[in-house]
Structure 1
Amino acid sequence: MEQQARWWAVVAVMGGIFLLVTAEQLPIGLLSQIAREMGVSEGTAGLMVTVPGVVAAFAAPLLPVAVGRMDRRVMLTALMVAMTVGSVLSALASSFVALLAARVLIGVSIGGFWAIAGGIAPRLVPEQSVPKAMTVIFGGVTAASVLGVPLGTLLGDMSNWRWVFGGLGGVSLLVGGALWLTLPALAPREPVRLGVLFRQLANRGVRVAVLTTGCVVVGHFVAYTFISPILQNISGVEQRHVGTLLLLYGAAGIIGNVVAGMKAARNPYIAVLMIPVLLVVIVASFPLLGTNPHTGVGLLMLWGAVFGSISVSIQTWILRTAPNTEAATALMAFVFNLSIGLGALLGGRVVDTTSLSTTMWAAAALFLIGVVLVGRTPSRLVNKGRIRELP
């Protein structure tokens, strides 16, 4: 009975990750609609992804430090309540500035939640079940692409983006209640301090994971933030089909997450290496091969499957190499979310000053750097490691 209860806690954490990633990326599918209503360019509207990404990046390492020995159950529940408030304020925003201000609160929730939830699996299930639990938890990331962002896009097309943000707030409150009811007391055995965070970078495995994640995630969001105009202007897809295609993109991501979860448990080095390798090929070829709806959709599905595997693959790498898994996970959450914000910001500048094709080639160049970083790392550094429990 105890183990069954712990698995319900794993599912609740997955639900939190699902909603947070949905909230962070939801403007991508609604970008054109919000830009028109708020009277800003699509490049400027991309700041709705940049702002929470940057805020989440700094919240990830600083919140665990600030709360010290606070029970992680209390912390995760409180962050979902904050997410509820931020979503409702977003729905009620009367100006673009007010909307960005509400997105700051969502960014705090994302960063703090991810920093704790990303490495929580070893404290909820036995060691042999950790890969499965991590696949479930990080399935929330791909489920957000499968259900959250596409469903939000479809609902926004049928009604209005404000109703979508408001509904997200209501569901967030329900998940906060589920976390409170299912999670056990999770007091940290050692409070995270800034010095401990920075010392993680002395470990080569953590350092490579941080740099590779930065390159891949920045590259992804340089291009993916503008996937709606990319599909419309490069592949000739009608806007009314974008929501459905994002649904299929997310479904491909779930498949990628499951396959990567099994592969990373056996060989995390290869699982991580193949991500930037495949993304270089897919994204660089998109402006050349994805010039009609059929090939554009095919490349989009491959893109979704590959990027959907990144969270579980990188986190498995971290659990195999990091001296302090909670500190390293907080550091990774910093890098991941900062990279989302920087990618959206950089992509917006490139889109506004050059072209969508140039944006995709810039993304491919960043993926190539990730290939070099992982390729120069000895595989034994990662594959011979053993999963560590949170401190």
Structure 2
Amino acid sequence: MTNAEAPAPPAAPPTAHGWPPVLAVALATFTVVSSEMMPVGLLTPMSHSLGVTDGVTGLSLTITGLIAAALSPFAPLLVGARDRRTVLVAFMLLLGLADAVTALAPDFAVLAAGRVLLGAAMGIVWGLATSVGPRLADGPRLALTMTLIFSGVSIASVLGVPLGTYLAALLDWRAAFWALALLGAASAAVLAATLPALPVHERGRLGGLAGALRHRGVAAGIAITAFVVLGHFAGYTYIRPVLEADAGLSTGVIAACLLVYGLAGVAGNFTLGPLSGRRPKTAVALALAGVALAAALLAYTGGVVTVLLVLVVWGASYGGVSVSTQAWVRTADPARIEASAAVWAGVFNAGIALGSFAGGLVVDRAGNRAVLLTAAGLAAVGLLIALLSRPDDRRP
């Protein structure tokens, strides 16, 4: 084994630093996801203001997702040996700037530029944030630490986007992005005030990424993540037309259903998170089985009560996907936590962008039921891989 292929030594042994730095990273993930997904709730007013179609405005999500997906795997390589605390603070400031550019955008070209900046910030933050948790806590505290960090993802869906949409209704859509810009700056300040120094002792290398992927446990975890995220976003992106056209629900009822879904997601994160620390394979299997089952059932479901029950299952299951799949990858190869976490983050972001795109193609060609069954099938493939694999499989 050459030096380039050898796993990098741990940057530093984990040390108990208390909960403030963990909550600071959770605030960062909340801010990142809220910034990424905010156009979903503001698509119509943004389109009217910028003079473009809803489809063109929707590309702002694709742009961000693809840039983040391209950068995340190479985050350790790109930032070199710089202190991770300094890097996270700097790129959260960049995220705030990106939201400010979006708020000021006079046309779609400037909006796209802002979203490119946002994708760059997201790529680096996501590429490093998931590996920070194991440096802030170990032992019995690690599972709760990772659960709290990933709670920012689910809480952004429940609170971040709806609050931004409400603010836009009171003022305008630009106010929502100004609020995110301020939140990005505040998150950077909190990280700077609470995170300990997080030095690394050598630069990231391409060989480290390749070495992580050669580990069968890591490769299985990455494949599982790819299939479930592709499936989820292929189906869930188009949940509103499904509930309108197929289930016959009104706008107000749909909003209530999606709120219930989001709350179930938070509950799923805090339920499957601790289990992930002890039994990652079980947590992953439960999460993927729930997503596959719920997507399949929704294709044939009608009536408010039944729809709500299915969405609770879907929300709780997907709420545990991030924390459980990342726990699988982290458990598989502890010597390459930063490299494997960066690849995981890249695949996750790519799954968001490509899943939404693929779902759109299926909806246009085959309809709502077909896209839900496609989502269920993709999640089921990920579940099959999980059942046939294990995190600690180190065979070449």
TM value normalised by structure 1: 0.90
**Alpha carbons 2:21, 2:195 under 8 Å: kept:** yes
- Which of 21, 31, 34 aligns to 1:22? It is 34
Show the counterpart of 1:210: 222
- Which of 130, 133, 149 aligns to 2:161? It is 149
What is the CA-CA distance between 1:42 and the residue it aligns to?
4.6
- Look up the equivalent residue of 1:251 and give its one-letter code: L
- Look up the equivalent residue of 1:292 and give its one-letter code: G
Structure 2 stretches lacking a partner, 5+ long? 1-14
After superposition, what is the alpha-carbon deviation per residue over 1:228-249, rounded to whole angstroms, capped at 9, x for unaligned? Answer: 3333333333334544443322
Matched, 1:105 2:110: no
Show the counterpart of 2:11: none
In structure 1, how many angstroms separate the alpha carbons of the residues matched to 2:365 and 2:169? Answer: 28
Matched, 1:317 2:328: yes
Identity %: 36
Show the counterpart of 2:312: 301
**Secondary structure of 2:249's partner?**
coil
Q: How many residues align?
A: 379
Pairing 1:346-385 to 2, within 5 Å after superposition: 346-378=358-390, 381=393
What is the CA-CA distance between 1:44 and the residue it aligns to?
4.4
What is the CA-CA distance between 1:378 and the residue it aligns to?
4.2
Show the counterpart of 1:269: 281
- Look up the equivalent residue of 1:309 and give its one-letter code: G
Structure 1 stretches lacking a partner, 5+ long? 383-391
**Alpha carbons 1:260, 1:309 under 8 Å: kept:** yes
Matched, 1:191 2:228: no
Deviates more, 1:68-77 or 1:34-43: 34-43
What is the CA-CA distance between 1:140 and the residue it aligns to?
0.9
Alpha-carbon distance change, 124 to 153 in structure 1, aligned in 2, over 3 angstroms: same
Show the counterpart of 2:294: 282
In structure 2, how many angstroms separate the alpha carbons of the residues matched to 1:379 and 1:193? Answer: 23
Show the counterpart of 1:386: none
After superposition, what is the alpha-carbon deviation per residue over 1:244-282, rounded to whole angstroms, capped at 9, x for unaligned? Answer: 443322211111011101211221111101222221111
After superposition, what is the alpha-carbon deviation per residue over 1:202-231, rounded to whole angstroms, capped at 9, x for unaligned? Answer: 101100110110111011111222333333
After superposition, what is the alpha-carbon deviation per residue over 1:165-202, rounded to whole angstroms, capped at 9, x for unaligned? Answer: 22111111111100011111111133211121121111
In structure 1, how many angstroms separate the alpha carbons of the residues matched to 2:43 and 2:371? Answer: 17
**Alpha carbons 2:37, 2:161 under 8 Å: kept:** yes
Deviates more, 1:331-340 or 1:217-226: 217-226
Show the counterpart of 1:231: 243
**Alpha carbons 1:60, 1:112 under 8 Å: kept:** yes
What is the CA-CA distance between 1:41 and the residue it aligns to?
5.1
In structure 1, how many angstroms separate the alpha carbons of the residues matched to 2:315 and 2:112? Answer: 27
In structure 2, how many angstroms separate the alpha carbons of the residues matched to 1:301 and 1:58? Answer: 32
Tell me how large the CA RMSD over aligned residues is. 2.2
Deviates more, 1:277-286 or 1:230-239: 230-239
Show the counterpart of 2:10: none
- Look up the equivalent residue of 2:262 and give its one-letter code: G
**Alpha carbons 1:6, 1:183 under 8 Å: kept:** no
Alpha-carbon distance change, 219 to 35 in structure 1, aligned in 2, over 3 angstroms: farther
- Which of 72, 75, 93 aligns to 1:81? It is 93
- Which of 166, 173, 177 aligns to 1:165? It is 177
- Look up the equivalent residue of 1:270 and give its one-letter code: T
Pairing 1:321-360 to 2, within 5 Å after superposition: 321-322=332-333, 323-360=335-372
What is the CA-CA distance between 1:158 and the residue it aligns to?
4.2
What is the CA-CA distance between 1:295 and the residue it aligns to?
2.5
Matched, 1:56 2:71: no
**Alpha carbons 2:83, 2:198 under 8 Å: kept:** yes
In structure 2, how many angstroms separate the alpha carbons of the residues matched to 1:223 and 1:111? Answer: 24
Alpha-carbon distance change, 165 to 354 in structure 1, aligned in 2, over 3 angstroms: farther
After superposition, what is the alpha-carbon deviation per residue over 1:77-107, rounded to whole angstroms, capped at 9, x for unaligned? Answer: 1111111111111122233343222111111
After superposition, what is the alpha-carbon deviation per residue over 1:40-93, rounded to whole angstroms, capped at 9, x for unaligned? Answer: 555544322221111111111223212211111110011111111111111222
In structure 1, how many angstroms separate the alpha carbons of the residues matched to 2:130 and 2:238? Answer: 27
- Look up the equivalent residue of 2:200 and give its one-letter code: P
**Secondary structure of 1:119's partner?**
helix
Matched, 1:221 2:226: no
**Alpha carbons 2:217, 2:390 under 8 Å: kept:** no
**Alpha carbons 1:82, 1:109 under 8 Å: kept:** yes
Deviates more, 1:56-65 or 1:69-78: 56-65
In structure 1, how many angstroms separate the alpha carbons of the residues matched to 2:245 and 2:118? Answer: 31
In structure 1, how many angstroms separate the alpha carbons of the residues matched to 2:311 and 2:165? Answer: 17
**Secondary structure of 1:324's partner?**
helix
- Which of 51, 60, 82 aligns to 1:70? It is 82
What is the CA-CA distance between 1:30 and the residue it aligns to?
2.9
What is the CA-CA distance between 1:156 and the residue it aligns to?
3.3
In structure 2, how many angstroms separate the alpha carbons of the residues matched to 1:135 and 1:129? Answer: 10
Alpha-carbon distance change, 155 to 58 in structure 1, aligned in 2, over 3 angstroms: same
